[in-house]
Amino acid sequence: MSESALTRRHDPARRGFGSDNHAGVHPEVLRALAAANGGHVAAYGADPYTEALQDVTRRHFGERAECWPVFNGTGANVVALAAMTDRWDAVVCTDGAHVNVDECGAPEKLAGAKLLPVPSPDGKLSPALVDLQAHGFGVEHHAQPRVVTVSQSTELGTVYTPEELRAVCEHAHGLGLTVHLDGARLANAAASLDVPLRALTTDAGVDVVSWGGTKNGLMGAEAVVVLNPDAVRQPRFVRKLSTQLASKTRFVSAQLLALHEGDLWLESARRANAMARRLADGVAAVPGARLTQSPDANGVFAVLPEGTAARLQERWPFHVWNPATGEVRLMCAWDTTEEDVDGFVTALREEAGR
């Protein structure tokens, strides 16, 4: 291998709160990938790693669960929604849902399902909010509401309780709708509530889950988990049609196994959540700063003292969530440390005192 191929092209000491996607790969996941390497195994999911992943999936979600590994979160959402809808169907979501604002129209363009957003100040749906868009059934001029999608945790860092999810699912099912859960940060929600994954999915009445892993220490692996086979049509073909079938699926499945076969998913999520709580407490104690959402999982949303954000970003990367209000988003990851948090809070105090 050439020397240039081994050259590190970033500063490994650089830290920040821009996204849990900014973090590297957990060492245990890298070891799992190395163990899966070597030799020849069958392609396209006919491998022992993907077979073992089915057993792990059923342990977490129940005996009816089917797992379809995919490359990324947008792909998981597109495959799930495409398998749950016809071309004339629509999906009820919050106005800030990832499928609505951060996927470049992929659910509508690729899955072919119209999105019906409703405003939600905390990122959550409720039965009453679902009703704002769940109408026009049988009217040929209207896209037909077919699916309700919720995010757990939400894009605003809040978490549904099992009771809140169950209420949405029961209401949706009563209207003849199915329920999809975007679980890019499902691990963080389960860790926050100290409940198993099935308490927020299968037991609550969710039909299909986009099971996240990349934000919790994987190199790049997600999955579509079908909990209710009656809610989907041909996920095998939809995954291929959506360009989400990996030829070397063993390396996607090996990552998901490394995270979920033991407690690594929970340990990593708990650490990220704990650092977010520490960060939220530190930010809230700085004069002129205030939290804008409950820091239930691994995200902190806040308004910082006037004039501090731009200067802070030079030292600690983070995202300005709403330029109009000055609200920022600070994300903690599986590798966020107490030193990272305390360093940011110290820098914030310094900037606020200027």
The verdict on residue 248 lying in a domain is yes
206 and 337 within one domain: no
The verdict on residue 3 lying in a domain is no
What residue numbers bound the domain in which 268 lies? 14-22+264-352
251 and 273 within one domain: no
**pLDDT value of residue 29:** 98
CB 174 within 8 A of CB 144: no
**pLDDT value of residue 194:** 98
150 and 57 within one domain: yes
250 and 204 within one domain: yes
HEC string for the chain: CCHHHHCCCCCCCCCCCCCCCCCCCCHHHHHHHHHHCCCCCCCCCCCHHHHHHHHHHHHHHCCCCEEEEECCHHHHHHHHHHHHCCCCEEEEEECCCHHHHCCCCHHHHCCCCEEEEECCCCCCCCHHHHHCCCCCCCCCCCCEEEEEEEECCCCCCCCCCHHHHHHHHHHHHHCCCEEEEEECCHHHHHHHHCCCHHHHCCCCCCCEEEECCHHHCCCCCEEEEECCHHHCCCHHHHHHHCCCCCCCHHHHHHHHHHHHCCCHHHHHHHHHHHHHHHHHHHHHCCCCCEECCCCCCCEEEEECCCCCHHHHHCCCCCEEEECCCCEEEEECCCCCCHHHHHHHHHHHHHHHCC
For residue 296, name the pLDDT band (cuts at 50, 70, 90).
very high
211 and 316 within one domain: no
Q: What is the pLDDT of residues 240-254, one digit of tens each?
A: 999 999 999 999 999
Whether a cis peptide bond, with omega within 30° of 0, leads into 126 is: no
**pLDDT value of residue 123:** 97
The CA-atom distances, in angstroms, between 145 and each of 53, 108, 230 are 33, 14, 17
Domain boundary among 260, 283, 303: 260
**pLDDT value of residue 36:** 98
335 and 200 within one domain: no
107 or 1: whose pLDDT is higher? Answer: 107
| 183 closest CA partner among 262, 283, 65 | 65
**pLDDT value of residue 186:** 98
Average pLDDT value for the chain: 97
Phi first, then psi: what are they for 328, rounded to 5°?
-120, 160
For residue 191, name the pLDDT band (cuts at 50, 70, 90).
very high
- How many structural domains compose the chain? 2
190 and 70 within one domain: yes
CB 152 within 8 A of CB 183: yes
The verdict on residue 9 lying in a domain is no
Angle (nearest 5°) at CA 16 between 102 and 153 = 45
Domain boundary among 260, 283, 314: 260
Q: What is the pLDDT of residues 5-21, one digit of tens each?
A: 788 999 999 999 999 99
**pLDDT value of residue 353:** 87
217: region left, alpha or beta (phi > 0 left; psi from -120 to 50 alpha): left
279 and 204 within one domain: no
For residue 4, name the pLDDT band (cuts at 50, 70, 90).
low
The verdict on residue 4 lying in a domain is no
Q: What is the pLDDT of residues 323-348, one digit of tens each?
A: 999 999 999 999 999 999 999 999 99
273 and 248 within one domain: no
289 and 217 within one domain: no
**pLDDT value of residue 2:** 67
194 and 65 within one domain: yes
* Cβ neighbour number for residue 325 with a 10 Å cutoff: 10
Mean pLDDT of 30-35: 98
**pLDDT value of residue 3:** 65
The verdict on residue 269 lying in a domain is yes
Q: What is the pLDDT of residues 75-126, one digit of tens each?
A: 999 999 999 999 999 999 999 999 999 999 999 999 999 999 999 999 999 9
188 and 288 within one domain: no
> What is the domain-level CATH number for residue 237?
3.40.640.10
Question: How many percent of the chain have pLDDT more than 70?
Answer: 99
The verdict on residue 306 lying in a domain is yes
The verdict on residue 290 lying in a domain is yes
- Cα separation, 38 vs 61, in Å, equals 31
The verdict on residue 55 lying in a domain is yes
Domain boundary among 220, 244, 260: 260
Provide the CB-side half-sphere exposure for 82 (13 A, CA).
25
> What is the domain-level CATH number for residue 346?
3.90.1150.10
